[in-house]
Amino acid sequence: MQLPLYQIDAFTDRLFGGNPACVMPLEEWLPDELLLQIALENAVAETAFFLPQDDGYALRWFTPEIEMDLCGHATLATAHAIRTLHAYAGDTLHFYSRSGLLKVTFEGERYALTFPARKPVPTVLPPEIAESLDRMPVAVLQARDYVLVYETETDIRQIQVNRQLLDRINLDPGGVVITARGQDCDFVSRFFTPQASIFEDPVTGSAHCSLIPYWSGRLHKKELLARQLSDRGGTLYCTDEGDHVKMAGYARTYFTGHCEVPDNIHF
């Protein structure tokens, strides 16, 4: 069985930047075990699988370990694939997912994702996280992810996270996002996922479901520019819309091809 396979860099306007996602169109759902094996073989943070449904597309995301409840960069990558590789003529896409209906609109070359807001609330920092950090945050919040707020962008750039210690905590499907005011943008962040094959995620759209309402309230503005300070780096153009957030970015296609999956594979 031969299946189409694309790899797309999301939240970037250049190749080898942003967050790479694999995207695979399907005609019907394959067994979950097979989808997970494909994601493991692809060896990127997320693989998105989609197929036509009603007036849009059903969409699922798999890491090499688990199925995710929400993924921003792989949704953006899927929208880019449908628009550029499948010659989609409209200006809006609707995706049906585990997190409900998600909308992506086209703004020139930019893709704008409308996702549910996940406003974080104050909480206590677990010792497994605290002991893994070489400096302590000034505030700790949580929605799906733990949100650790620091004083400066320099803290975000220079922080050392001990993976061996952080891996003691299981946050599936969440992670730990660290954030601060930006020097040339509104806010910056980095994202770490304990017990995952890819420890630091290059650009994490789903984490901005919490970061956008937090920084919108703190900075008293609805339109925000965000940067994720991973080695690859990424830029997100953000809007706080109350119950929802909008995050926009660019994408670039790295490759298109096919993969071979045995028809008689058993689990």
Confidence class of residue 263 from pLDDT cuts 50, 70 and 90? Answer: confident
Residue positions annotated with a catalytic role: 46
- The answer on pLDDT for 267 being more than 70 is no
Angle at 117 between CA 111 and CA 122, to 5 degrees: 135
Q: Which CATH superfamily is domain 121-243 in?
A: Diaminopimelate Epimerase; Chain A, domain 1 (3.10.310.10)
Asked whether the predicted pLDDT for residue 42 surpasses 70, the reply is yes
CATH 3.10.310.10 domain locations along the chain: 2-115+250-260, 121-243
Q: Mean per-residue pLDDT for 54-67?
A: 95
Amino acid 194: pLDDT: 94
- 2-115+250-260 — its CATH code? 3.10.310.10
pLDDT at 189: 98
Preceding omega of 213 cis (within 30 degrees of 0): no
Residue 161: per-residue pLDDT? 98
Mean pLDDT of 198-213: 96
Antiparallel, parallel or unpaired: β 223-228 and 46-53: unpaired
* Average per-residue pLDDT for the chain: 96
Residue with tokens 């992810």: 145
pLDDT value at residue 226: 98
pLDDT at 173: 80
150-205: pLDDT as tens digits: 999 999 999 999 999 999 998 978 999 999 999 999 999 999 999 988 999 999 99
pLDDT at 261: 85
- Structure confidence at residue 265 (pLDDT): 65
Residue keyed to tokens 């020139």: 108
